[in-house]
Structure 1
Amino acid sequence: MRPLTVMIDNDQRLREIQRLRAAAEADRESLLVRLGKTSLSSETIIGVDGGLRAVMQRVAQVAPTNASALILGETGSGKEVIARAIHERSHRHDGPFIRVNCGALPSELIDSELFGHEKGSFTGASNARRGWFERADGGTLFLDEIGELPLAAQVRLLRVLQDGVLQRVGSENQIEVDVRVIAATHRDLPRMVQSGEFREDLWYRLAVFPIILPALHERIEDIEALAQYFIERAARRLGVPTPPLHRQEIRQLSDYSWPGNIRELGAVLERAVILGHGRYLDLDAALGVQLLNPVKNSHRASPEINEKTTVESLDIIISAHLKHALTQTYGKVDGPGGAAKLLSLNPNTLRGKLRRYRIDPAKYRHR
């Protein structure tokens, strides 16, 4: 039992370090904004005159108000960028912008994370702590993956949204907060409301102004500009010359389906810059020829292949690719030398893909 105890203890310590780091980063960014300095996390929005034209029109409409907004879109499609755009165009732009990933909050600590706690309110609460709502006072709180929030937490969130007051865990005092909430999810919230997984009253409160974010394959006209941006950013990060982007490579990028959306595009192009040593884009190796859509990229593709066959084949290929990465890293998922680093994926994203394809990293640790 001792190895299991050590593993649980290490996991709890890691979560605490990650929480403290997130809190410190939020406070640092808030201070930068209040000092009038540019936030390091602000991102360029590409496609304002292309595939995001309708989205940016919605942003311009809702930003000057205090209304809640709900951003709906696939994972990796840029929901946080749009949330920041709303904040920066609002009268709250001098206040903090704080992002909370609801899916990453441990269920037993959700109240403490969102609303704070008093010293001694539970085991491990050695000091009083402000929650994310208090930290976002006067600014914007971005609740990413709101669909992952448990029902009990949804009730308490609704009260804060309605009344503008909260109570820290272990306290009877009410604290007033002035926070604008922007929520986002890749899940089908209306279906979750019907099935009882998401509160209907919270849905109406959050979806005052919904914004639907298109997937990357629906914004083909933006591929070239996005690619150029990511190539230049990767070259700056790596300290290498910016490789050219040729017509054939733009066509190749446009032909790919991009299941990981903009996040995947950025990762692929950074990998292509690395593999090409800054002199050229090694796009074939970065994408992996086996990951290209077989219908669009094979001259000998059978005309009888239907859409269902293509999707099933792609799932098999992606599963094999993930297994190959785990083989190369001996089952290590996170950290230096891990599969997430090798694949240029966020560790949580990779773990989600491993669950989806029912791949157990432990099977690869002793090979």
Structure 2
Amino acid sequence: MIVGHDKGLKRAIREVDLVAQTDSTALILGETGSGKELIARYIHQHSARVHSSFIRVNCGAIPAELIDSELFGHEKGSFTGAASQKKGWFERATGGTLFLDEIGELSLAAQVRLLRVLQEGTLTRVGGEREIDVDVRIVAATHRNLEESVKEGQFREDLWFRINVFPIRLPSLREREEDIADLTEHFARKASEKLGLPLALPTAQQINYLKKYNWPGNVRELQVIVERAAILGQGNFLAIEESLVLPLPSLDRGACAVPQVYSRTQVSTEFLTLNEALKLHITKALVHCRGRVEGPFGAAQLLAINPNTLRSKIKALGINKATIR
């Protein structure tokens, strides 16, 4: 699923559709969790290689001493522990797409081997002598600024030029809040299928609540929050507010300072009684917390009051918790 209303994402989607029809190397740039793998899979599924393998390799998760063996394979006995011949990821992806996630984490030595395979379309397994032809479409991704890495000597310039044929920048989720509603519904449906629960969809109020968050973990974090909300709601509702507790806004004491002198025209002549104002405030907190009083997601914590004290006030003010939704 790819959605998008803002200009940055629409441009990225147009670029994705264009490059998917070709066999060119694509480089996806974006923050961690912004959906780079989703885009890589979309490219593969809309390419002529759709009926062949799509293999994802997290370059940052492979120990430096194993990277050659994992990418290019090895022959039996080529090193201690090599009890049999092994095909690497390039051979396994032949005819399909190899997604090199976090390519910026590769060591310089591994970059040299990778560049040779990309340029010549052949590889030699560790411990082997025979050159093996590989036909692989490369989609790479990174959260790093590779141009800066080149300047700092951490990434080879020739490899940078080789993979930077068609760069695609993915905006972060905080740059595309218009997509939060569609993404939340999409993840709610996925959670329902995965967990075997009745489908519960987000309310308009919950979408507005989600839009107040900065989303440092991007799309991946939203997916986690929605799945947690589905588990907590058990198919009856999405417990968004329990899954994502927003930090309380800090007070701007300068802006909120009380003036020393008021005039009658500056003060409203319509007042709630103190008990009416307190009842309204507690009721709003209970609605926000779905009627929960105690615990990390309860109204008592939100109002910074002892739970037993809050229960007493609820009873004294005649607040009917059964009507709270």
What TM-score do the two structures reach when normalised by structure 1?
0.67
For the structure 1 residues 136 and 197, does the alpha-carbon distance in structure 2 shift closer, same or farther, using more than 3 Å as the test?
same
CA deviations on 1:128-185 (whole Å, 9 max, x unpaired) are 0000000011111100000000000000000000000100000111001111111000
Counterpart position of 2:150: 193
2:197 to 228, 231, 240: 240
Counterpart position of 1:90: 47
Q: CA deviation at 1:203?
A: 0.3
2:28 to 68, 71, 76: 71
1:268 to 215, 225, 230: 225
CA deviations on 1:14-49 (whole Å, 9 max, x unpaired) are xxxxxxxxxxxxxxxxxxxxxxxxxxxxxx223378
Matches within 5 A, 1:123-134: 123-134=80-91
2:103 to 146, 149, 153: 146
Q: Does 1:116 align with 2:73?
A: yes
Counterpart position of 2:234: 277
Counterpart position of 1:168: 125
Contact 2:6 2:178 in 1 (8 A): no
Q: Write the distance in 2 (CA, Å) between the matches of 1:275 and 1:301.
A: 35
Contact 1:51 1:222 in 2 (8 A): no
CA deviations on 1:208-267 (whole Å, 9 max, x unpaired) are 110001101111111001111111221222222222421211111011000000110010
Q: Write the distance in 2 (CA, Å) between the matches of 1:57 and 1:170.
A: 44
Q: Write the distance in 1 (CA, Å) between the matches of 2:7 and 2:159.
A: 33
Counterpart position of 2:136: 179
For the structure 1 residues 112 and 147, does the alpha-carbon distance in structure 2 shift closer, same or farther, using more than 3 Å as the test?
same
Q: Report which of the two has the higher share of helix.
A: 1
Q: Write the distance in 2 (CA, Å) between the matches of 1:143 and 1:270.
A: 27
Counterpart position of 2:214: 257
Q: Write the distance in 1 (CA, Å) between the matches of 2:192 and 2:180.
A: 18
SS in 2 for 1:142: strand
How many residue pairs get aligned? The number is: 255
Larger radius of gyration: 2
Q: CA deviation at 1:277?
A: 2.2
Q: Write the distance in 1 (CA, Å) between the matches of 2:254 and 2:171.
A: 29
SS in 1 for 2:2: coil
Q: Write the distance in 1 (CA, Å) between the matches of 2:252 and 2:58.
A: 42
- RMSD after superposition: 1.7
For the structure 1 residues 65 and 48, does the alpha-carbon distance in structure 2 shift closer, same or farther, using more than 3 Å as the test?
farther
- For structure 1, list consecutive stretches of 5 or more residues without a partner in the other structure: 1-43, 305-367
For the structure 1 residues 119 and 160, does the alpha-carbon distance in structure 2 shift closer, same or farther, using more than 3 Å as the test?
same
Counterpart position of 2:298: none
Which residue identity lines up with residue 222 of structure 2 in the other structure? L
Which residue identity lines up with residue 266 of structure 1 in the other structure? Q
Counterpart position of 2:280: none
Counterpart position of 2:166: 209
Tell me whether 70-79 or 91-100 shows the greater mean CA deviation.
91-100
Matches within 5 A, 1:10-21: none
SS in 1 for 2:211: helix
Q: CA deviation at 1:207?
A: 0.4
SS in 2 for 1:99: strand
Moved beyond 4 Å, runs of 4+: 48-51, 301-304
Q: Does 1:136 align with 2:93?
A: yes
2:38 to 71, 81, 97: 81
Q: CA deviation at 1:51?
A: 6.2
Counterpart position of 1:101: 58
Contact 2:192 2:235 in 1 (8 A): yes
Contact 1:47 1:53 in 2 (8 A): yes
Q: CA deviation at 1:284?
A: 2.2
Q: Write the distance in 2 (CA, Å) between the matches of 1:164 and 1:188.
A: 27
Counterpart position of 2:315: none
Counterpart position of 2:259: none
Which residue identity lines up with residue 281 of structure 1 in the other structure? L
Identity of aligned residues (%): 59
Which residue identity lines up with residue 270 of structure 1 in the other structure? E
Counterpart position of 2:19: 62
SS in 2 for 1:52: helix
Q: Write the distance in 2 (CA, Å) between the matches of 1:209 and 1:160.
A: 19
Which residue identity lines up with residue 71 of structure 1 in the other structure? I
Which residue identity lines up with residue 77 of structure 1 in the other structure? S
